[in-house]
Amino acid sequence: MNTNETQRQYEYMEKAKGYVKAKSEELGRPLTYCVTTFGCQMNARDSEKLTGILEEIGYVAAEDEKADFVIYNTCTVRENANLRVYGRLGVLHGYKKKNPNMTIALCGCMMQEPEVVEKLKKSYRFVDIIFGTHNIFKFAELIVRNFEEKGMVIDIWKDTQEIVEDLPIERKYSFKSGVNIMFGCNNFCSYCIVPYVRGRERSRNPEDIIAEIKKLVADGVVEVMLLGQNVNSYGKNLENPMTFAQLLQEIEKIEGLERIRFMTSHPKDLSDELIEAMANSKKICKHLHLPLQSGSSQILKVMNRRYDKEKYLALVEKIKKAIPDIGLTTDIIVGFPGETEEDFLETMDVVKKVRYDSAFTFIYSKRTGTPAAAMENQIPEDVVKDRFDRLLKEVQTISQEMTARFEGTVQEVLVEDINDHNADLVTGRMSNNHLVHFPGDASMIGKIVKVHLDECKGFYYIGSIVEE
């Protein structure tokens, strides 16, 4: 980890503080900010860093986007994600005309696409700061440049080996936190833009990860979510290579940490060593997100997933044998170019055999810049819609049956929040990621309690606390 760069950024934060304070005094009120996140958990974690820096330099949170500093942390996995950002920028332009002190910043995956930056330079001149995924740690420096320079501040890195952490973070939850263990991806699945916008895989040093988690635990965190585009290939590019299973075993030793989650796992890299580590662990949650994408070996080959249907099913069997009560979840794409009815039925077959606790199902959407977008045999919309509906029905039926298998048992539940619909209930999560609602109050948030699962209501449980 680059400690010199961390130090440098703290110096910029001090400088930015001065500018924010002066502006705030001139206006006779505090300056406000609004961070909007599009996309995945990696982005959500990045947004906590952006928020931490804004708070550190003196901005206060606003209720909405009519703030003095608005930043969009963008996603570009699907084309319509980009269109949403352009649409929302139009609205922001109107706000900026009314508030000339407003600063608009854009960062995240969408900014790593050269044509996006060109479009912004040409048609969205009112945007003040643009940066990408590789240099998010430079946020304070870019804010200072915006105060000092006239015109757009653009700082995009094509790729990086640099990892800079230890900067302020404003966490959404006091008791759980995401922790980046690696960045980038080397897989180049034919439908996915991620390797192009997040760069090559690079792993953080285990010492830095463990130090960060210890600090979080000292601050009240009981559950961490280890984040990476493909956590199973963690550690391959370290000076002293280390496997993901070995990292998990080191994290497990941290006192006061109760639960360890992780995502996402690529089936081709899931080792026997990892299955064994999960089976023997007291802290690793009994939940595994294992993206299938398609059940057809032929389609998997064109997707460049580097496993086939048989390998995937054999892996699942191995996992279930070692960890019988595991909660398995997945991602599935319907309507990939060239998918025949037979290919689709292969996917349905895997769903019936694996019996997922839940599945994220997606209709294939063309992503410019990926090999799949240029493929022949794009599937007609009505065919895709029909397949999608059939898959969804199957997934939901199985999901309800799988959720119900714990009815009548007592489970440990981490209380996460007051229930959205009934203030007398709290909502918590079991180790396998299933949701439980039961009577309780705010004092229980962040605690792990024993709950009797009285009744399964489809995708969640109603329970009652077990007095010890």
Given a cut of 90, whether residue 188 has pLDDT beyond it is: no
- Find the mean pLDDT for residues 266-283: 95
Q: Report the distance separating Cα 393 and Cα 389, nearest Å.
A: 6
Which tokens go with 415?
Answer: 């209380």
162: buried, middle or exposed (CB in 10 Å: 19+, 13-18, 0-12)?
middle
Most confidently predicted of 11-25, 126-140, 162-176:
11-25
Mean pLDDT, all residues of the chain: 92
For residue 48, give every residue at least 6 positions away whose Cβ sits within 8 Å of its Cβ, in sequence order, or none: 169, 170, 171, 172, 178
Q: Report the distance separating Cα 78 and Cα 59, nearest Å.
A: 32
Confidence of residue 16 (pLDDT cuts 50, 70, 90): very high
Q: Report the distance separating Cα 149 and Cα 178, nearest Å.
A: 35
Which tokens go with 260?
Answer: 């360890």
Q: Is 416 helix (H, G, I), strand (E, B) or coil?
A: strand
| 60-83: pLDDT as tens digits | 999 999 999 999 999 887 777 788
Instruction: State percent of the chain over pLDDT 70.
Output: 97
DSSP annotation of 204 reads P
Q: How many CB atoms lie within 10 A of CB 392?
A: 14
State the SS3 of 73-112: EECCCCHHHHHHHHHHHHHHHHHHHHCCCCEEEEEEHHHH
Most confidently predicted of 74-83, 194-203, 354-363:
354-363
Note the pTM of the prediction, 2 decimals: 0.79
